[in-house]
Chains A and B, each alone.
Chain A
Amino acid sequence: MSETAHSPLRGQDYWRSLQELADTDEFRHQLDNEFPGGVDAPGGMTRRRFLQIMSASIALSSLAGCRWPTERIVPFAKRPAGYAPGTPLQFATTFELGPVAHAVLATSYDGRPIKIDGNPEFALSGGATSALAQASVLDLYDPDRSKAVISRRGRSAAETDWATFGEWAAGHFGALRGKGAGLAILTGATSSPSLRGLLEQAGRAFPGSRTYQWEPVCRRNEILGAKAAFGQPARPQLDLERAAVIVDFDANVLQDGATALKCSRQFAKGRKPDQGRMNRLYCWESGYSTTGGMADHRFPTPARDIGPAAWALAAELVLGEGLPLPVGAGLSRGDLSRWRGHAAGGAHLGAVARDLMANRGKSLLVAGLRQPAAVHGLVHTLNTALGNVGTTITFIPMAVPDFGTIEDLVRDLDAGRIDTLVILDGNPVYTAPADLDFPAALGKAAHRIHLGDKDDATGKACTWHLPRAHYLEAWSDATGWDGSYLAVQPLIAPLYDGHTAAELLSLMVDETPRTGWQIARDTFAVMTGGRAPAPPQDTDRAFEQGWQAFVHDGFLQGSGRERGETLALAGGAVAAPAEGAELGPQNLEIVFVHDQSVWDGRFADNAWLQEMPDFMSKLTWDNAALIGPATADALGLKHGDLVELNLGGRTVEAPVYVQPGQARWSVTVSLGYGRTDCGRVGLGAGFDAYRLRTFAARDFAAGLTVGRTGRTHVLATTQDHHAIDQRGAAEVQSRVPRLVREGTLADYEADGHFADHLGIHHPPLLSLWKEKEYTGHKWGMGVDLNACNGCNACLIGCQSENNVPVVGKDEVARGREMSWIRLDRYFLGDPEAPTVTPQPVGCVHCELAPCEQVCPVAATLHTEEGLNAMVYNRCVGTRYCSNNCPYKVRRFNWFNNFEDLTATQRLVLNPDVTVRARGVMEKCTYCVQRIEKARVAARVEGRRIMDGDITPACAQTCPTEAIVFGDLNDPTSRVSRMREDSRAYDLLGYLNVKPRTFYLARLRNPNPEIAPARMHDGHGGGHDQDHAQEAGHGHG
């Protein structure tokens, strides 16, 4: 990499070599030969040239998609139709996470993608998207992405280019063609039909070769679970909206489910008591998940006891409640008898079973991706028995390709059967199970080719490292969980000359290597009933129309199935779970979970995700061994202690995080941290739990022991920044019921306004000043605590939209995180099994804002529409506003937070939002830039802004539609109607600051057999008058 010039205008990060800078003939020649029929590569890049490419890619894309193959790029003398500089364009594409594909819309500003949103047309997202998908755009601009082909021989590494590799590959794979012995391909779990097709093609071209698959976090159990029950692998399709009773066995269905976004939305829709719907969720899980947080009854259970718990429930249903076992059930009443009353299920199984029996056909049992396939098999059997298959759960059968596992791969490598290994995805040297010793095995292949976005541990262990294109730079395709056929299209030319896995395979197997575009078109031709190859561009009008519609929509219309099939049980025996030695201080359970921030480690360099607090632990920049309070006490461990985790002789040092609600004797560790082979962002964050993970026990294992090291580790959390004293903890417990107001369904039915009674009693509130009347728009926001499950998507949505800076672990540990919206979560009750309620808090835009009164320079003030505006260039930074803000939502720029960003990293910034300077205060603006944009659009069209024209980033991305924004002066707006809801209340309303953001109280639906139906036993009555006075406006 050349680091010569540092003018951002010349984009020093885009050059690949000094030759490129020099732009010599030799280099041009190389460039032309690099990839025959090549993808346009950014050449010796001056600013002008860069803009040309950027503009050209937009120009060419503005019809349907972008980055059409082109031989020459010319600057436009005339602006192409449909494109105005400075206006954002949105393109449909697809974000893939392992085997799960999310259709998204990417927003592009002048050729640079800056934001990812859900594709509203796509049934599985409905416009929402996950935090990971949204943050993926940041990876595109990661300055530590690999930028050149690297050829390694022994200890020496040389930067070279694709042309050199292409030459070598032509010779090497040419020689292998038709034979293929000694060739192995390692792929991740991909859903791309193109890639699948090419892998099959490779199998035909190299008959002696074998394909292996390794995905550290996979959904194999789910698919094979269907096979266990129904005799064929299938993707389960859940319909939570129809389910009145849901039992979640370690599934975290609202966050980790394959269709988590859809499930979240449907679950929230199933909890609208004003519409007569209120489902009930039971949850057995070891760690505290967001789904556990939404559960009406949560039973903390070690992961290994969840299978037994499911069997105990089955026994209770069949033997206790007389549920007939369906035809084809792989188990008998006799099999169940020994599980009846099993301790793992807990004391309330009878009540759960009765609840399920009462809701046959509208209940749903679901097992998680860490539970063995047999547990899934049992759950499917029970779903069939309860009549749920066909209503709340259906299946889409799928073919599971016969790929070898990583264990097979290591065996074949060790046996010397593999000479050439092509790694298409991932970082197996880091992620492979610890017992396989993959790095040693890898060295036994003579030719090792790694395609990856980083020259990571795997890249460094290979003879060739090839830069992989980010999905926003690539043509590809994917398959949605509902079977839909999805398009992946680039928004920008590859910044660092990356290529896709499909292109690499094409280089190996095709006579004339195809570009990603050609590959995707060829697959499209096949998928739409034609034949590959696809007709050349603009030769077949019908094909082009279909292709353009596909790329425009992001998916093939009609390809996704709204409902799957009803499968019949096949009668295969469902294996009963094995039970091991009793868990205890010397035999702890360890549960390996993917991380909600870095997933399997692939997002380790994603600063947004590293700084995104885990919902339950609020931990940033680290993972930890999550241990329950009682277990920690028994082991003599404190929060932040550095311990040695020992599992079967393998050890790793990890900090202890005492997590309320964690199952006894169960320790949860998340994967993906402790990387030493990543870029500057992820380096030094967390510990590497892969070092304990064996192939056989990828999900959980018993036999863990914990040894003290006597050292401690600083854990940076965004809530409970420091250990809390007892008096403080008691105060929190006493305040929480006022802050996050909760009641039960029975409370709500007895008194819809129950939330009003939970506030502080106070005399009528008076204002110091004559209050302003808002006659025009009056913006406000409602947050339904009954819907919010704490998925974190709004955090990243806001960060991406509003250029919210990342500050790093030290600063977070100091309490200086910058997030404009935070997800407060409060635990209530027994620390071993507490309830939790999330509460998203951004600036509430008080009408009588305390911040405004104290600012000496009037840098924060009210707009005519009641927004609490922050004038950055007037702010001198006294921080008085923040001190006086009762919600503490204001964020101060303690340093210049953008100082260290490279020119590439700056490309992700949203040009509609000011990048804040050092020393100024900032906070949520209700996405004022979107309000203004809607105002302009409305004015151009000569109309008033209508409800729904404006959606702040947080509301846009919320899968549960918990956040609603709009005009409180418009009685028909959604937010006005929400304000009229009897559950509406103001947070800290008694301060008379008149917040514009209000909350709807959370409702729980306990099973009266298990817990009291009412949380609040009425309110004495007789002083409703007081509440009316207190209310002042709205509900006080």
Chain B
Amino acid sequence: MKSPVTDPLDNTLDDPTRSPELVLGNNDFTTLTAKVSDIVLERRTPRAWYVAFIATAGLTGILFLMIGYLFVKGVGVWGLNNPVGWGWAIVNFVFWVGIGHAGTLISAILFLLRQKWRTSINRFAEAMTIFAVICAGIFPGIHVGRVWVVYWLFPLPNYQAMWPNFRSPLLWDVFAVGTYATVSLLFWYTGMVPDLATLRDRARGKLQQIIYGFFALGWRGSHRHWHRYEKAYLILAGLATPLVLSVHSVVSFDFATSQLPGWHTTIFPPYFVAGAVFSGFAMVGTLLIPARQWFGLKEFITLHHLENMNKIILATGSMVGFAYATEFFIAWYGGNPNESFAFVNRAFGPYAWAYWIMVSCNVITPQLFWIKRIRTSVPVMWVLYIFVNIGMWFERFVITVTSLSRDFLPSSWAYYKPTLVDILTFAGSFGLFFTLVLLFIRFLPMVAMAEVKTVMPIADAHSGERRSVGDYHGDIPRHARGRDDREGGSR
């Protein structure tokens, strides 16, 4: 690891007298705008992007092939059986929904908490939320036996006046995930409008101008626009904040409200939310590290940002580990023999391998972030993110499958194994996710330029010696902080 003194891009030195700088490398508004928007508009698309895109698009193709096969043949092409009615599809659903949580947490909760460091990573994290929710949304849709009537889960008016069953957690899921997807999309898009206008203004191709222009909604950067924008953003952040907690709580109800030993536990909502944030941050980190590397964004997505994320991973990972311990304690303390067996069976039964993968990845891995050298080492943290991703997938697997495979009557006990279709479908969902991420990187501003400008040193009226770097004179009005007058109205 490089010394903080010698490495200009290391801002992780803990100095209690001042906040670390959030943008490094003598950037001003112009260079920021240029560096971010040039990735989309000016720079040649790297060959690696094409290679990656072909690979991920291929995987996406496999996903749809598998879904087609599933639709033609039936759910039996998966490895499910009688006691284990939910397998990889539901595991993947919970996994992807969880991934999305980091984006919402960063964009909404950290916004409300005025965590300025969020600005560099929130666009990316929010995009990831949308894509993860898209991937998540596929699974409950395709896992039902009769996909052609899956719309019956929605409370649509019909001639029989037949309503869905409002007691069913699956129905709550429909609402929770639906709301979450809608709000997340709106939030992401609203936040992007000023940046889209920047792209529109800098675009040289006609088509680009038209498309970016269309989505920029006629943004001119007027004070009124900014006013409305910030109000809308604040409201959406307010709306999204409870969703961070509610979505995964509701998802956890699928399990918690059932009476299956191993599912039927009240700890699930907080435990699921913590796990979701945990996995979400790991996934953001997994993607962000290569992105900042390849697209030269280290000055904006600094080591300090990554370190902050690692601290959140440490916190939520500890919560998850604590939840594991609590579950075991209650299984013993509660005195329910079925429940105590369910947990003993998890740890020492036929799925012990999955359980210990989960524990190693989710409990041990985040604890390493207590060590600053690990917390600030990019390659190490990337490897640890991968472990967290694996561990969190296994957590859902362990919860879903081990509980089902051995419930009340031993006569029904069975072992569940996925089929190739299960595996390819899951791999395919990653293909879809990365395809969307690649398209995002290629066509949309990866960093929220407008927001980052507000936290640049130069935007601070009291930043002393740095003032000479930019062209700024006088104080910036609060509502238009960091506005760059030279940039055709958009920041």
Question: Measuring CB to CB, which residues of chain A are less than 8 angstroms from any residue of chain B?
Answer: 719-722, 724-725, 727-728, 731-732, 734-736, 739, 760, 811, 814-817, 822, 824-826, 839, 841, 850, 852-858, 874-880, 882-884, 886-888, 891-896, 917-921, 987-988, 991
Contacts and interface: CB of A to CB of B under 8 A. Distances in A.
A728 B350 contact: yes
B348 interface: yes
Interface size class of B (residues with CB under 8 A): 35 or more
B308 interface: no
13 contacts: A735-B410, A816-B76, A841-B411, A854-B169, A856-B165, A856-B171, A876-B153, A877-B144, A888-B82, A888-B83, A894-B76, A917-B146, A991-B259
Interface in B223-277: 254, 257-260
Nearest to A882: B85
Max count, chain B CB within 10 A of own CB: residue among A720, A877, A878:
A878
A919 B165 contact: no
Max count, chain A CB within 10 A of own CB: residue among B82, B169, B174:
B82
Contacts of B260: 883-884, 886
B341 interface: yes
A880 B85 contact: yes
A853 B407 contact: no
A856 B153 contact: yes
A883 B162 CA distance: 24
Which 10 A-B pairs rank lowest in CB-CB distance, beginning with the nearest? Answer: A877-B145, A919-B145, A894-B76, A815-B81, A879-B85, A824-B411, A888-B412, A856-B170, A919-B146, A721-B414
B85 A886 contact: no
A867 to B, nearest CB: 18
Contacts of A850: 258-259
Contacts of A880: 85-86, 168, 170, 254, 258
Contacts of A877: 75, 144-146
A930 B404 CA distance: 34
Interface in B140-187: 143-147, 149-150, 152-153, 162-165, 167-171, 174
B173 to A, nearest CB: 8
Given A719-B412, A728-B410, A918-B146, 7 more contacts: A734-B337, A856-B171, A875-B146, A888-B82, A892-B82, A894-B74, A991-B408
Given A857-B164, A858-B164, A918-B74, A886 B81 contact: no
B345 A887 contact: no
B294 interface: no
B406 interface: yes
A814 B79 contact: yes
Contacts of A875: 145-146
A848 to B, nearest CB: 10
Nearest to B348: A727
B296 interface: no
Contact of B144 (A852, A874, A919): A919
B350 A725 contact: yes
A854 B165 CA distance: 8
A988 B338 CA distance: 11
A739 B84 CA distance: 21
Contacts of A727: 344-345, 348-349
B415 interface: yes
B469 interface: no
Interface of B: 73-76, 79-86, 143-147, 149-150, 152-153, 162-165, 167-171, 174, 254, 257-260, 337, 341, 344-345, 348-350, 404, 406-415
A815 B404 CA distance: 13
A11 B174 CA distance: 47
A918 B168 contact: no
A816 B409 contact: no
Contacts of A815: 81-84, 414
Given A894-B75, A918-B74, A883 B258 contact: yes
Contacts of B164: 856-858
A91 to B, nearest CB: 37
B258 A854 contact: yes
A896 B152 contact: no
A722 B407 contact: no
A991 B338 CA distance: 11
Contacts of A720: 413
Contacts of A825: 411
Given A725-B350, A884-B259, A858 B163 contact: yes
Nearest to A860: B165
Contact of B165 (A734, A826, A858, A987): A858
B344 A816 contact: no
Contact of A884 (B147, B152, B258): B258
Contacts of A725: 348-350
Contacts of B144: 876-878, 919
Contacts of A856: 153, 164-165, 168, 170-171, 174
A527 B89 CA distance: 68
B80 to A, nearest CB: 7
Contacts of B82: 815-817, 882, 888, 891-892
Contacts of B147: 919
A855 B168 contact: yes
A722 B414 contact: yes
Contacts of A722: 350, 414-415
Nearest to A896: B74
Given A725-B349, A988-B408, A854 B257 contact: yes
Contacts of B163: 858
B143 to A, nearest CB: 8
B167 A841 contact: no
A617 B306 CA distance: 59
A827 to B, nearest CB: 11
A874 B145 CA distance: 12
A732 B146 contact: no
A878 B259 contact: no
Nearest to B146: A919
A921 B162 CA distance: 19
